[in-house]
Structure 1
Amino acid sequence: MALVELEPRRRGMNVACAGVEPRRRGERSARPALERLLERLSPRARRVVTALDADRLLEQRIELPSGLSPCEVERHLHARLSRLAATLDEPPVFDFSLVDDIDFRTRVPQRLSWRLVACRPSELETRLGEFAGLGLKIAAVDVDLFALSRLVERTPADALLYRDGHRLWLVRDGFRLAMDLAGVDPGQALVDWLPAVWGDAPPVRLWLAGDGWASSDPIGLSGALGRRVAPYESRAIGTRPGRGDGGDARLALAYALAVRGCR
């Protein structure tokens, strides 16, 4: 599976490719490769690179001209995606959402962002040229992103924490890798991570899903975090029937946790 995150900006038409840096023999995470990649980038590009735990690290970013209406941006995006889908043997699954923040005096969008979840990462990586005019971030992950994207769309959560084996994934403003939990107790990592991210911010709602989180004890987690954690109703997010790969049973049940402010 692959994740594609599109974040157009407002001015100019500047495309920058951050490049590819492979993971070297003996490296247990993608972090060293990311550090090597960052060393080769300009200071401006460093601000937009996101750590991707994948064998290949790749980012492209484009800035759209100002003055486009949300409808114009949406038409532009769908035209690109239609051409891409036509080149694939098996049409990808697209999960599309557009968010706009409009200046009501000028009726001009000040911020446009959307995300796209698609399958067939090998096809996408070989056809990046089809996305000229769009910004891409691709991360290879062994999860059912179709189901995961539906989970994100359904919840009002500020973020989603997804545990895949020993890795903890953070979903906030798109899909972002939070940290590598290899050899680290996940509960302790949450204790260290939550205050660093939100501190004394207003109450935060989290969704915890996947292997190890579906059966989490809210009382025990509350004690570990030092915060009051209340369970939401658990939901089966399901997957497409007849996939043949089990649809990643780790995501069959999501357990939502509302994290109240630390008082």
Structure 2
Amino acid sequence: MEDLETKKRFEIVQRVMNLCISSLYTFYEESIIRKKSVLEFSRLKSMLQDESIRITDELSQLYLTYPVIACVQQYYHEKEFLWESTFYESLDKEQKSKWISYSPLHFQLSTFTANHTAYDEELPYFSIVVRAIVLERYSHFLYQQIESCLLKAHTIQQDDESTMIAEEVETYRPKKKTVVGTSNPFHHTLEAWQIKLLTECVNRSRMFTTTLTPEILTDFFEGKLEGVLISNNNRLLAYFMS
């Protein structure tokens, strides 16, 4: 029964704490979002890394100065921090009494915003706990942003490499030969059976260094060969073409 009553009191104070946390965290997050919209990619990544180091140093100093809030590192993500964490157990008897008896009726967010320590007398370490939770969440947010930048940088590098490879391939790709003039430069009117017969004759005479097919000979007459035919007998070739 006592635990239930304590939990109810914690829930009341937790709502006050959550208001303060949300207000401060929103300021940090929106600041980064605004900077992302104006900074170049390289400067943004550097800024995020510098900011992450600064926040890490500040958190380390807070934990060193106020050992009572050490549990924030483990429980900062909890929505019911006061109930789930060991912070309350770390307080002395007088401090516990202040937290458990606090009434939020006169709490004003504007007062806290103007002076973060305004309620520390009534709630010992209140501003310190709020700041530590905000900075831990902000640090996690920065980590996600840095990861996103690194992923984007990797993607850009891969795209650049792919573009370079494609350009190199295109450079060394054989250019398609353009046939000057119209098709069928020899004006042949040979039918398929005639082409087939000529192909057999050409192959028997070994006019070329390679064996022809009717399709190759047709392309030859129509000026559509993609390669070249090498003659074995130029005189015979001249007679054939006359």
TM-score (norm 2): 0.20
Query: 1 or 2, which has the higher helix percentage?
Result: 2
Give the greater-gyration-radius structure (CA). Answer: 2
Query: 1 or 2, which has the higher strand percentage?
Result: 1
